[in-house]
Structure 1
């Protein structure tokens, strides 16, 4: 029988889906583009923050309060494929690059979105 330690190790070694997500306001069409190393779980955290009025993106939080939770939808727009040959690989830079590609493509700024345009 597998003991608790083995089960914990198996869970730790499981590949979590990583990728790029979009939060869309169905009322005004504005979007937020983000990335996560646990993209299948990030919506739980974000929706909890929105419900508790503690989400750090102020405009999205205000729209959530104004229009209600049914006006805000979450979807994954792209997944990052893990490197099987490198189990300890750090995907931070890869996710940043993929996020930059999607932000460039969708331009989620101003009236179109909730992302902040960085100077430069």
Structure 2
């Protein structure tokens, strides 16, 4: 690939809109879900697979099930997304969104891998 084409592809990539959102990782064997709010959903599934494959989430039920049940038992889904264009305080927005989805889905105990948020 020549330099001009490389440059063009890089510019196209940078011009794509960025989305923040809520993602779900689901263990299809036991039905448990993990919910997270992320500032950029692009390539997020690869990020989680890499970290779980490398035992980054040690001593957590999600990591234990990932090692036991293997990647094939898990699915990934973007539950909600929105362009980052209008967000003034991303950290605050992510916290608010995550709380809404945790309240809605209650992914705790037998239903999921999340821990309740302390307020």
1:118 Cα offset (Å) = 3.0
1:57 Cα offset (Å) = 6.6
1:55 Cα offset (Å) = 2.5
In the other structure, the counterpart of 2:71 is 69
TM-score scaled by length of structure 2: 0.80
Unaligned segments of structure 2, at least 5 residues: none
Please say if residues 27 and 71 of structure 1, whose CA atoms lie closer than 8 Å, have aligned partners that are also in contact: yes
In the other structure, the counterpart of 1:40 is 42
Root-mean-square deviation (CA, aligned residues, Å) is 2.7
In the other structure, the counterpart of 1:100 is 99
TM-score scaled by length of structure 1: 0.79
Q: How many residues align?
A: 116
1:15 Cα offset (Å) = 3.1
Q: Show the 5 A alignment for 1:1-120.
A: 14-55=16-57, 58-83=60-85, 89-120=88-119
Unaligned segments of structure 1, at least 5 residues: none
1:10 Cα offset (Å) = 7.7
